Structure 1
């Protein structure tokens, strides 16, 4: 049994990790668990660099809580502003084992000006989504990407391909 610790107890992050690992390692049996750990970055990371650092920190902090696992996964959502003043949302994934690390970034999408304005006021993206769309705790369901795509892509499906990409060094160890 391969033990995977996700650096979150958010059901969306556990679901996408479960799906990605099951697709990549079809013949393996897994035990997945989530732990709450800090990212050691801002509540709402505002750059590519800070978001990647948050994902790495989450994976390392999960390892510090449970060093018996085979894999530790950090998922961190972030924001970056373009030169044109648009606000893009994305996430970084960091996958660690005792001997390897893989990372990948999700696709990027542009946030509506109303949400961007709230984020400029210091409000985290998930809370801003809830305020604008009159929802509650959307980051534990379809998230901004699900709301904005009318659920063509929900948050779990948004993260899953990036987790698969972060696993490339693990499925091609002879190349890394």
Structure 2
């Protein structure tokens, strides 16, 4: 089974690898990451923009590598609400004739991070400034920093990958 992830980010590649291995435990799975444009802002600021970014990434790599079995787009985003700034990600998985998608759980960002993001700083950079880290978005991300490492970005995305694969392992129902 050949899976193309629409990113070179090791977090996204590993979350896809882990999710596919769990959902298809008897399959030999080859995973490759390819850089793909999201077609949305560097920091998506709404649920719909984040979902669109994941869709765009998956569709881009499907065109670039048409001989794969699955194409995976993962996009992290935020939405400012009356309760605070929510952080989440969307996962979109395409096959030749089917689509699955899922959103991660949501968590709220601290006021200092929110303030930087509203000033135009991308979440990963804002997180690095507040937590004095370097390149956290390719490691534990904001979720890792805020959960004291109990939940890293890879595991956070992995669950959404598994949920987005539901239609592919339950074809008779979808």
Supply the distance in 2 between the matched residues of 1:105 and 1:47 (Cα, whole angstroms): 13
The 3-state SS of whatever aligns with 1:89 is strand
Which residue does 2:107 correspond to in 1?
A: 109
1:59-93 deviations in whole A, cap 9, x for unaligned?
A: 00111211111000000000011124x10000000
Which residue does 2:27 correspond to in 1?
A: 28
Which residue does 2:165 correspond to in 1?
A: 167
Supply the distance in 2 between the matched residues of 1:69 and 1:123 (Cα, whole angstroms): 35
**Paired residues for 1:149-168 under 5 Å:** 149-168=147-166
What TM-score results when the alignment is normalised by the length of structure 1? 0.97
Supply the distance in 1 between the matched residues of 2:109 and 2:17 (Cα, whole angstroms): 28
User: Are 2:61 and 1:62 aligned?
Assistant: yes
Supply the distance in 2 between the matched residues of 1:75 and 1:115 (Cα, whole angstroms): 22
1:55, distance to aligned residue in structure 2 (A): 0.3
The runs of 4+ residues in structure 1 deviating greater than 3 Å are: none
Which residue does 1:95 correspond to in 2?
A: 93
Supply the distance in 2 between the matched residues of 1:173 and 1:20 (Cα, whole angstroms): 18
Which residue does 2:141 correspond to in 1?
A: 143
What TM-score results when the alignment is normalised by the length of structure 2? 0.99
Supply the distance in 2 between the matched residues of 1:130 and 1:114 (Cα, whole angstroms): 12
Supply the distance in 2 between the matched residues of 1:3 and 1:158 (Cα, whole angstroms): 23
Supply the distance in 2 between the matched residues of 1:144 and 1:68 (Cα, whole angstroms): 35
Which residue does 1:12 correspond to in 2?
A: 11
The 3-state SS of whatever aligns with 1:49 is helix
1:23-77 deviations in whole A, cap 9, x for unaligned?
A: 0001000110000010000110010000000000000011121111100000000
Between the two proteins, the alignment pairs up a number of residues equal to: 174
